[in-house]
Amino acid sequence: MTHLLYSISIILFAGILCNEIAKRLHLPAIIGYLIAGILIGPSFLNWINSSILLELETFVSMALAFISFSVGSEFKLKFIKKMGIKPLVITLISSFFTFFIVTGLLVLVNANFSLALILGAIASSTAPPAIMMIIKEYKARGPLTDMMLSVIAIGDVVSILLFGFAFAFAQNETHLTSDLFVWIEPFREIILSLLIGSILGLLLGRCERLIKSDMEMAICIIAFLFLMMGVCEYLNISSLLVAIIMGFAFVNTTPNKVIHKIIHLTDILTPPLFILFFILSGASLDFTLLPEIGLYGIIFIFARTIGKIIGTSMGAKTMKCDRTITKYLGPSLLSQTGIAIGLALVAAEALPKDGQELQAIVVASSVLFDMASPFLVRFCLRRANEIGNEKKQKWFKRA
């Protein structure tokens, strides 16, 4: 226990130091946290070794839950009516275009078809944490920001479905199972996520009637998110999707006064978790895998980048979005760490021969995407003139 507390203190102090350096260099805070993680992680100083990273996975999961809850809480029905079906169509075109181009190019270079399918499905996903942190840090608001939030939320659902079918095909091809159940598993996960997220979001909003103090409400939020994570682990479903739905259900069934109070409390609770998440993400990036990704890895990185940018642009043009969204939405959606690495770990079970290579490709590509993504998101928001204030929020100043 002592070594774990010691490790957390190292993480937080490293975050403070690297965040200050990042601010002086006019870099996004997330870059400071990622660099801090890389420096103290196994790849360099090894102050936080692999066994400690495993012990701290709960903090990573909780940070993802808070971030996903925040994403879901952005979607009031009024906001959805304003956005219309544009985010859905853009997400579908972008996800499927990325899926097909990654899968197709890998098949052309004689990759195993199951491996190509699974990498294509993983490529379609976008990780919300980096995008959310840049949006919060720079207080971004506007059409591009709204579209980003909408697309990453819907994208989780599409990615889970695509991955579910690719995983089912791989299991059948490798004869691990021929059960019809594996083909309906993606729909089971979506339905359970909708049900659990809706119930927990509704109950969280109703807790305000019984709880009066802010401290008790903060404890209630943490308790609900831990409950959600526990239920998801027991049922073997994505906690990210459930948290998004939970935030959506909460924000649309709760009085505005209560919403503002809970969102305010969530903003107070999340900074230390954000710092832990990104530093641990940086520490988990294994640079030794970069030389090992080979041809398949290079094609994955190239095809995913092209697929996201061109596919998103095609979707935006199809829906006649303004030029800013058409031009800058795609490059904003390249962040990968989170759901992609989780899916790769699951998929490795279905590909005994290619599982190690699959994980190496996804983890190694995450190094590149995660270092580039904060700069790309900030650049796109700046070009769209949606950065509200170049000064950091108070909690980033204190970080």
* Dihedral Cα 392, 142, 68, 1, nearest 10 deg: -10
pLDDT in tens, 122-144: 999 888 888 888 888 888 889 99
DSSP run (H or E) holding 342: helix 339-348
d(CA 202, CA 162): 29
pLDDT in tens, 81-125: 888 899 999 999 999 999 999 999 999 998 888 889 899 999 998
**What domains are defined for the chain?**
60-398 (1.20.1530.20)
pLDDT in tens, 53-73: 877 877 777 887 887 887 788
Taking the complete model, does pTM exceed 0.85, yes or no? no
Task: Please tell me which of 155-164, 203-212, 240-249, 294-303 the model is most confident about, judged by mean pLDDT.
Answer: 294-303
Are the CB atoms for 388 and 332 separated by under 8 Å?
no
Residues of the chain above pLDDT 70, percent: 89
The 3-state DSSP class for residue 82 equals: helix
Q: In terms of residues, how long is the chain?
A: 399
Residues of the chain above pLDDT 90, percent: 22
Predicted confidence band at 48 (pLDDT cuts at 50, 70, 90)?
A: confident
Predicted confidence band at 349 (pLDDT cuts at 50, 70, 90)?
A: low
Which residues, including other chains, have CB under 8 Å from residue 172's CB and lie 6 or more apart? 178, 182
DSSP 8-state assignment for residue 186: H
d(CA 177, CA 181): 9
371 burial class (0-12, 13-18, 19+ CB within 10 angstroms)? middle
pLDDT in tens, 162-218: 888 887 777 766 555 555 566 676 777 788 888 999 999 888 878 767 776 767 777
Helix axes 143-173, 181-206, angle to 10 degrees: 140
CA distances from 190 to 160, 166, 196, 222 (A): 8, 16, 10, 24
